[in-house]
Amino acid sequence: MSELRVLHLSPTWFGDESVRGGGERYPLELAIAMRKQTPTRLVAFGGSPGTRHVSGFDIEVQRTWRQLRGRAYDAIGPGFLRALGWASIVHCHQARSGLTALAALIGRPLGKRIFVTDHGGGGVNWVRRLRIGRWISGQLAQSEFAAATLPYVGRRTEVIYAGVDTVKYSPGTQKTLGQVVYVGRLLPHKGIETAIRGLPAGASLDIYGRPYDADYLEFVRSEASSRQVRLHIGASDAEVVAALQSACAFVMPSVYEDYRGRRQALPELVGLAPLEAMACGTAVVVSDVAGMPEIVPSVGGATVPPGDPDALRRALTPLTTSLNNARLQGMSAREHVVSRFTWSAVAERCLAAYTA
């Protein structure tokens, strides 16, 4: 068999000019790991065209021809056609995207094998509208939950959970009693107010992330006032890693219904931040929504009902009141991640799926 040439396509990319979220970090980390085994490129849109050097990898940012209906997740441009010609495998990130539909429409007749991993982006579902789901060779879903949301995408579906860099995200030297950390975008479906309201007595909450909703940012600020809550906007990766290492607990309180009463069908397809926290030797408490419970261990992790601050407080208290318990739970969480969730393993499983 000839050497695979893998093209990862994403309408957005991991950086300040675009979006710094799990849906952007995933294709970057996967491409970095996959490059060690086969020629691999990552083409994305957003910001001025050119090469972006991120984590030692060159992201090829193409000129955006247009954003269908003005949505970033539906960014398309002519530059990806040249990359499409180079590739033998095209791995599209975001199922509800004009870019994914266009890659299938053009790439499939050219003999390219097309694969899709969804990250919950809110573009127009052109794949469904155009009824071209079967033009896609396979859906490589991040979780069982994610697979169930897109039964019409791909002639076959395989669940391949996300990974984590277990060298970059590794345990620190000491933990801070009572410290709880949240890492993620500041958006309504993240349910950060539940973490604030459910903070145990004597504990503190450090919130790391970037705001993508001005009203929600003000709402979080109002909830945090007069409480032991610190908001860190625009922190570096090194600062985030240090916080994950020192925390006694990590919290991801995502919700199906946000503070405005709006329904969120896809709050978390899986969640990279909990994996990164566990790799740092920190126990996690996540809400029982979407795909997150699938990655949480029985020791070193807990799930609670969404939007329930009392349940969250009960789960956090044993971790925030005992350094020994936090360390033991964190060690178990780290072992869970190292044994099951590494990017090298994700890359190997994807490569196997491409040729199955």
State residue 123's pLDDT score: 67
pLDDT band for position 80 (50/70/90)? confident
Q: CA 319 to CA 325: how far, in whole Å?
A: 6
Tell me what percent of the residues of the chain surpass a pLDDT of 90: 74
- 262-275 pLDDT, tens digit per residue, is 998 888 888 899 99
- Domains of the chain, earliest start first: 6-163+342-355 (3.40.50.2000), 179-340 (3.40.50.2000)
Tell me what percent of the residues of the chain surpass a pLDDT of 70: 95
* pLDDT above 70: residue 222: yes
Is the pLDDT higher at 85 or at 77?
85
State residue 125's pLDDT score: 76
State residue 268's pLDDT score: 84
Alpha-carbon dihedral angle through residues 41, 45, 48, 51, given to the nearest 10 degrees: -10
User: What number is the average pLDDT over the span 291-295?
Assistant: 96
Which residue shows structure tokens 């530059």?
Answer: 79
State residue 15's pLDDT score: 86
Q: What is the value of pTM for the model shown? A: 0.90
- Which ranges in the chain belong to alpha helices (H)? 22-35, 80-86, 98-107, 126-129, 144-149, 192-197, 214-224, 237-246, 272-279, 309-320, 323-340, 343-355
Q: CA 185 to CA 28: how far, in whole Å?
A: 17
* The dihedral sign for the CA sequence 285, 289, 292, 298: positive
- Give 38's DSSP letter: S
Annotate 198-235 with DSSP letters as a single string.
TPPTT-EEEEEE-BS-HHHHHHHHHHHTTSSEEEEES-
User: What number is the average pLDDT over the span 63-86?
Assistant: 69
State residue 73's pLDDT score: 56
Is the pLDDT higher at 286 or at 98?
286
Which residue shows structure tokens 């266009």?
Answer: 102
For residue 47, what are the β-bridge partners? none
